Structure 1
Amino acid sequence: MAKTIDVMSLYPKDMNIYGDSGNVLTVTRRLALYGYEPRVTAYNQGDPWPEHIDMVLGGGGQDTGQKKIIDDFFTRADALAALAESGTPMLMICGMYQLFGEYFETVDGTRLDGIGVIPAHTIGRDVRMIGNLVEHSDEFGDVIGYENHSGQTFLRAGVGVRPLGRVDQEGRGNNGEDHTEGARVHNVIGTYMHGSLLPKNPAIADFLIRTAAENRYGEFGTADQTDAQAAELARLDKVAAEARAVAAGRPR
């Protein structure tokens, strides 16, 4: 019998503006191809909290989407922080990346608190950073995605958070100033990379999967994987490599 991995999709109704649900589809497909049984729970405001969570995936959203979820989000802040501190793998894209930080200061100076899982803050600017982006990550190699944000995020030094990667271009990445992009703390990844991110970056998808399996079962194994599943996984990795090459060559 295949081992179950419980995946929570966080606020998919309101935080999925740039196709970030593709990250959920990628994780569930790859889990199945590795021989696991993915069980996905879509958590939206007012829903019961899942009994078991092995992985959390969150996406981006407009200001209206953030306003819809924010009250419920703060009622779940302690639970999300506890999951993060216990090593649960998480991927937070754009708007959810910002909300996982310490605060967001809007263009007009209004301060909106985050839940502080990621030691970082975001300042709203008039200039929007947009386009295909390649960042260099020590852990995952080159990460390729599409950024589209006007908030500039600054990581807090000396508290255990590090960038997901570094960008070569001026005026891109977290804040357009320090050539960083994204954040890594515990097993939480925050990033501005849409695309969806995971179809083009299987190394990150597999990190989330491997970590979830190791946390729950003590190991990541493929004993239940069939030859056909292995072959399909190899095909998807080839398609991802082709998509990466095309995206990397397009500035917008």
Structure 2
Amino acid sequence: MSTYTLSFAHLYGDLMNTYGDYGNFIAFNYYAKKIGVQTEYHLVSLDDKFDAEAFDFALFGGGQDYEESIVAEDLKYKVDDIKDYIENNGPLLAICGGFQLLGHYIEMADGSKVDGISVMDHYTTNMYQDNLTVLKGQRLTGNIVIKNNDTHEEYHGFENHQGRTFLGKDERALGTVISGNGNNGMDKTEGVIYKNVYGSYFHGPIFTRNGNLAKRLLVTSLERKYPGIDWHSQLEAIETESF
């Protein structure tokens, strides 16, 4: 039995997993086991409690507009605990719809508006402005490459979204777009970093193609729960895989 254990929460993994975001857990678990760390997977879905003190890492994946609207209603009962988790530096990976719902609101493809939980300061619109004319947004799809401005790592992935997200106070981009569209196709930002929350539009999923990011967030989780151990050096010795 491993001495070290991380409790992994998958928020709405039965509803918000359209693009195989569960693969992020597979990659996270792979690297954890390589250094003798056990992971415990917990699905947290409709009517379930999210205990901010019970989890060491959380994943919030993407979904279709219908599922996203259902999840938005349930999130109202979890907002305080999710906010506590985030503000206490809980590591969280939010992809596409999960990323959007942590912000203020989302304008859907049909023009309706879904409220997020406003635990972060971004918002997502379905419109954009071109030459002073407001136009309905087209889908932003295709391969994408970004560069993390803090670590200078490059991340590769695939994006497929109609929403255009604009970052707010105390938020910085996960990376600057080298090729592709990013959050909104306008300001060269992709994803978000706020405290230990990492958001992105990368499907595929992001951890399976970018093991360097998976290992980085695994180290963050381990240092938060088990400080005083050189987790970084242990993971540096593990070869980064492409799943």
Q: TM-score, normalised by structure 1?
A: 0.84
Q: Which runs of 5 or more residues in structure 2 are unaligned?
A: 127-135
Assess if the C-alpha contact under 8 Å between 1:210 and 1:220 holds in 2. Answer: no
Q: C-alpha separation between the residues in 2 aligned to 1:97 and 1:220?
A: 31
Name the residue aligned to 1:136. 147
Query: Is the Cα–Cα contact under 8 Å of residues 109 and 162 in structure 2 kept in the other structure?
Result: no
Q: Are residues 204 and 110 of structure 1, via their aligned partners in 2, closer, same or farther at CA, if it must alter by over 3 Å?
A: same
Identify the match of residue 71 of structure 1 among 70, 73, 76: 73
Q: Distance in 2 between matches of 1:90 and 1:57?
A: 6
- Distance in 2, matches of 1:169 and 1:204, equals 19
Q: How many residues align?
A: 229
Matches within 5 A, 1:100-111: 100-111=102-113
Question: Per-residue deviation at 1:107?
Answer: 4.5
Q: Does the alignment pair 1:176 with 2:178?
A: no
State the match for 1:93 in structure 2. Answer: 95
1:219 aligns with one of 228, 231, 235: 228
Corresponding residue for 1:56?
58
Match of residue 130 from structure 2: none
The 1:220/1:6 distance shift into structure 2, 3 A limit, reads farther
1:149 aligns with 2:161: yes
1:27 aligns with: 28
Q: Which has the higher helix share?
A: 1
> Which of 162, 166, 177 pairs up with 2:172?
162
Q: Tell me the residue number matched to 1:247.
A: none
CA distance in 1: counterparts of 2:192 and 2:113, whole angstroms: 21
> Structure 1 residues 161, 48: CA separation in 2 closer, same or farther (over 3 Å shift)?
closer
Cα distance, 1:133 vs. partner?
0.5
Amino acid at match of 1:194: H
SS in 2 for 1:30: helix
How far is the alpha carbon of 1:204 from its aligned partner? 1.4
Match of 1:193 among 197, 202, 211: 202
Q: Determine if contact 1:120/1:155 at 8 Å carries over to the other structure.
A: yes
Residues 173, 191 of structure 2: 8 Å contact kept: yes
Structure 1 residues 220 and 27, CA, compared in 2 at 3 Å: closer, same or farther?
farther
Q: Provide the TM-score with structure 2 as the length reference.
A: 0.87
Alignment root-mean-square deviation, CA: 2.1
Find the residue that maps to 2:139 and give its secondary structure.
strand
| Corresponding letter in the other structure for 1:187 | N
Alignment of 1:12-23 (within 5 A): 12-23=13-24
| Percent of pairs with identical residues | 34
Q: Which moved more, 1:111-120 or 1:196-205?
A: 111-120
What is the Cα deviation at residue 118 of structure 1?
Answer: 2.4
CA contact (8 A) 2:5 2:37 kept: yes
Q: Does residue 6 in structure 1 map to residue 7 in structure 2?
A: yes
Structure 1's 84 and 210: CA in aligned 2 closer, same or farther, altered over 3 A?
Answer: same
Deviations 1:187-242 (A, max 9, x none): 101110011110111121112111111111213446xx8xxx998x42xx1x42xx
Deviation for aligned residue 1:108: 4.9
SS state at 1:168 partner: strand
Q: CA deviation at 1:138?
A: 2.2
